[in-house]
A and B are shown apart, each in its own frame.
Chain A
Amino acid sequence: MKQRIHPLLVAFAVLVFFFLLGPLVIILGSAVSDTSYLTFPPQGLTLRWFSNIFEISAFVRTMKTSFLLAVGGTALSMAIGIPAAYALARFRFQLPAFLGNIYVLPILIPEIVLGFSLMKTVAIGADVPIMLALLLGHALIVLPYCVRVVGASLNSFDFSIEEAAVSLGCPRWKAFFTVVLPNVRAGIIAGFILAFITSLNDVSVSIFLTGPGVSTLPIQLLAHMEQFFDPTIASVSVLLMGVTVAVMAIVERTLGLTFLTK
């Protein structure tokens, strides 16, 4: 028996898909346009704007910075977030509920405000080097993803499994690595990806913390756009999207995407 679907529902779904995918098509189109300005639909077809990215040293430099920050900031955030998520899940009946919400604050506070206060206290107040300030800032803004996503995995983890390991002679610290972590791997990978992407695309916090000689790719993109309105901007965007898709694809290949939703 065929299930009947209302035509309006179909129309609405199609509309949503257009809305979601439309911008991607426009960016992709603009990136290959053989004009010296951003335009859509593309006129002509060229890949020179992609090679142009690597000829502008500021892009190459900030790209490295951005990747370094995304990996370093996420790693730092995980180092804090995993133990925090573990404690929140393991002792969820003993700990007050608001503790878990504290880790979401970086999402709730407007990023502009967060960026400003970080600049005021960390960059200016404590006179921390720019790169380190950026690293701390990025670790902070991705912390909610690490704690929440890893936490979701841990909340469905049966802690008697950990106790079983301990009863079989495995010390607690070792049980954490041999039994707990392998079983929340999905959450850690999902959290890492979300955090990595968030960090890679961040503008509002980074803009306050970048300084002379140190910038990130999205900030450089803004700076570039103020001076040149050429399709390089679109091609950098395509590249950023490409990285995101590539990361997703690797996960899909190695673990399966259902892994992320498990």
Chain B
Amino acid sequence: MTVSLSLDNVTAHYGSTKVLEDLSLHVGEGELVSLLGSSGCGKTTTLRLVAGFLEPTSGSIKLGERDLTRLPAHARNIGLVFQTYALFPHLTVRDNVAFGLKQRGVGAADRRKRADDMIERVGLGHLADRHPANLSGGQRQRVALARALVIEPPLLMFDEPLSNLDAKLRVDMRVEIRRLQQANGTTALYVTHDQEEAFSISDRVAIMNAGKIMQLDTPEVLYSRPANAFVADFVGFENMIPMRAISEAGDAVRAEMAGGATIDLPKEKFTVPAQDFILATRPEGLLVAAEGQGVPTKLGLRTYLGRAYQYQCDTPAGEIKANGPLSQPFESGSSAVLVPQPEQCCLLPTEAA
């Protein structure tokens, strides 16, 4: 059974503090959507609202045709995996996994069989009689995963499930999570603050800030085409150059930046969103060249990155990082031009302060 999850215009408060504002989110059948953001952005609040541990001030939450909004948490039938694993310390691995089946009135023999099958599937068959205290972090999270999966929930939710594991294990476990989620075709909501983690396993990612979704899209689009300055900054567009369109020059828009330097942006490659806008790029989106159509600069410190050289550039618009080819190293202190690479640059509207 696969269903979709819909949050419609959900607003939530902690006391008098608004923590979610008019949030709408749709997770399609069998889709894995991540909520990504720094702490306090509302991602965990969203998950807790869906789980039923918090009640929204307004708005509705639906799982398929079922309205969850006022349903008590225990009646929601959602598989949850916690950051702290939250295993029952007084129960064995088998009893931990069988717990949800027991609540559903599954008979002892059937319960044991299904729990053991699931424990086998997460690769812990030999540990079924252990207590959680005698397991490693990775093993514990596998038990937590098995416990959430065995009830065959229409929706799986993960609350920073990997942040207590070491780096190597994190990568293995996220692949494991994705594999199990896809094998069952379960709709999933995944909360994390780790961009790589979110991008690597999600169908779509919602980048959140201050209780709102800033952009919801596939990792590929988020990575290369952020829709606003917040998302651009979040995904590593280190250079944000404020610009102003001043005139049309043939099939290009001429834009001026702080300090008076101008640059012509060809219309076929760039869409200027407003008169005032931001040119956002990663360092590799600005090519350091001896001459060309770009931002004039004096080159500062040069660092070697393996695939390119990176320069700290002191421009009239401020400090900018740009990459230059290995074949043509520039000396620190020399003058150069930073040429924007259209496919790696985004023109974004200036944020309303």
* Given the contacts A163-B51, A163-B53, A169 and B86 also touching, CB distance less than 8 Å: no
B73 surroundings in chain A (CB, below 8 A): 163, 166-167, 172
* Given the contacts A163-B53, A163-B82, A169 and B151 also touching, CB distance less than 8 Å: yes
Interface residues of A in 139-189 (CB under 8 A from B): 158, 160-161, 163-172, 175, 179, 182-183
**Chain A proximity of B78: nearest CB distance (Å):** 6
Q: Which A-chain residue is minimally distant from B81 (CB atoms)? A: A164
Q: Which B-chain residue is minimally distant from A170 (CB atoms)? A: B103
Q: Which one of B75, B76, B77, B82 lies within 8 Å of A164 (CB-CB)?
A: B82
Contact string, B117-128, partner A, CB cutoff 8 A, digits 1/0?
000000000000
**Chain B proximity of A156: nearest CB distance (Å):** 11
* Given the contacts A167-B78, A168-B151, A161 and B89 also touching, CB distance less than 8 Å: yes
A161 surroundings in chain B (CB, below 8 A): 86-89
**Chain B proximity of A255: nearest CB distance (Å):** 13
CA distance in complex: A168, B102 (Å): 9
- Chain A contributes a number of interface residues (CB within 8 A of B) equal to 17
- Chain B contributes a number of interface residues (CB within 8 A of A) equal to 28
The answer to whether A169 and B77 touch across the interface, beta carbons within 8 angstroms, is yes
The answer to whether B99 and A168 touch across the interface, beta carbons within 8 angstroms, is yes
Q: Which A-chain residue is minimally distant from B151 (CB atoms)? A: A168
**Chain A proximity of B17: nearest CB distance (Å):** 13
The answer to whether A183 and B90 touch across the interface, beta carbons within 8 angstroms, is yes
The answer to whether B86 and A163 touch across the interface, beta carbons within 8 angstroms, is yes
A172 surroundings in chain B (CB, below 8 A): 72-74
CA distance in complex: A168, B115 (Å): 14
Contact string, B81-117, partner A, CB cutoff 8 A, digits 1/0?
0111011111000000001100110000000000000
The answer to whether A164 and B80 touch across the interface, beta carbons within 8 angstroms, is yes
**Chain A proximity of B32: nearest CB distance (Å):** 18
The answer to whether B88 and A169 touch across the interface, beta carbons within 8 angstroms, is no
Most buried by B among A165, A172, A175: A165
A163 surroundings in chain B (CB, below 8 A): 51, 53, 73, 80, 82, 86
The answer to whether B100 and A169 touch across the interface, beta carbons within 8 angstroms, is yes
16 of the cross-chain contacts (CB-CB < 8 Å) are: A158-B84, A158-B86, A161-B89, A165-B88, A167-B51, A167-B73, A167-B76, A167-B79, A167-B148, A168-B103, A169-B77, A171-B74, A172-B73, A175-B74, A179-B88, A182-B90
Q: A163-B80, A164-B144 are in contact. List 7 more A-B contacts (CB 8 A).
A: A160-B86, A161-B87, A163-B51, A165-B88, A170-B103, A172-B74, A182-B90
Chain A interface residues (CB < 8 Å from chain B): 158, 160-161, 163-172, 175, 179, 182-183
Chain B interface residues (CB < 8 Å from chain A): 51-53, 72-80, 82-84, 86-90, 99-100, 103-104, 144, 147-148, 151
